[in-house]
Amino acid sequence: MKKSELKDFLDEKVTIYNHPNFIESDPIQIPHLFTQKEDIEITGFLVATIAWGNRKSIINNGHRLIEMMGNSPFDFVMNFSEKNSESLSPFVHRTFNNKDLFYFLNALQNIYKNHDGLETVFAQYSEKDSMQPAIHQFKKTFFELPHLSRTQKHVSDPFKNSAAKRINMFLRWMVRNDNAGVDFGIWNSISPSKLSCPLDVHSGNVARKLNLLKRKQNDGKALAELDASLRRLDPKDPVKYDFALFGLGVFEQF
């Protein structure tokens, strides 16, 4: 396909999949339970953290975790201590266990009490055309408290050539205002033009079939290549094409 034909094709797929119907089969349904900014972003961050593996399992465990937090995630985080953590002790999702969860809650509490919240941490380190340096700096801030070394693996670092799929997905949720009611658009201090596609097996395979991506591994270098291709199609909102790539891969077996 020529560039104009490819853009028209993908724009049509964005219209189909960037639609409220998408929510019912996606982990984004869980932060959609809330209206308060802090509840949305904390829920979004925790759910994005466990968003690998079987989608049904991700969604079930996400709902379960929020229920364990009394369906008040921001209040729970701000009052969290390991003394009152018994309700969370049974939680596990794949290799993310209760010890990891306890640290994540302590780290989130620290970010809200001492760093003015998640949006501020990401926004202050964002660069002109990328959020990847901000993700790297966020990880440093997130792990500034004493922690088990094993827990660090649950936050990716683009500076170690990671595609950081889950954090890029979380940032898409928070930053994009899609006027369709899927992504939230509650972080006004970051431009959607800086976002990167949540690169995974599905989006990567479709991107290669459409000649948007040549690199075989789904790593940081592949992400940079895909970002460049998507920004040529829409420099203001390149990550809208995540809906097209994901939808083609998962729902259409493209």
193 pLDDT above the threshold of 90: yes
> How far apart are alpha carbons 224 and 214 in whole angstroms?
11
Sign (positive or negative) of CA dihedral 111, 146, 161, 206: negative
User: Is there a contact between 16 and 225 (Cβ–Cβ < 8 Å)?
Assistant: no
DSSP state of 116: S
Q: List C-alpha distances in Å: 58 to 31, 88, 237.
A: 13, 17, 27
138 pLDDT above the threshold of 80: yes
Write the pLDDT tens digit of every residue in 101-115: 999 999 999 999 999
> How far apart are alpha carbons 242 and 18 in whole angstroms?
9
1 pLDDT above the threshold of 80: no
Amino acid at 163: A
What global pTM score does this model have?
0.95
**Which pLDDT score is estimated for 83?**
80
Element (H, E) at 124: helix 118-125
> How far apart are alpha carbons 139 and 122 in whole angstroms?
10
Give the DSSP per-residue string, 132-179: HHHHHHHHHHHT-S---GGGGGGS--GGGT---HHHHHHHHHHH---S
**Which pLDDT score is estimated for 159?**
96
> How far apart are alpha carbons 214 and 240 in whole angstroms?
20
User: Is there a contact between 241 and 233 (Cβ–Cβ < 8 Å)?
Assistant: yes
253 pLDDT above the threshold of 90: no
Write the pLDDT tens digit of every residue in 239-249: 999 999 999 99
| 54 — pLDDT class (breaks 50, 70, 90) | confident
Long-range contacts (CB closer than 8 Å, 24 or more residues apart) made by 183-192: 183/18, 183/28, 184/31, 184/40, 184/44, 186/37, 186/40, 186/41, 187/41, 187/119, 187/122, 187/123, 189/119, 189/120, 189/123, 190/119, 190/122, 190/123, 190/126, 190/131, 192/236, 192/237, 192/238, 192/239
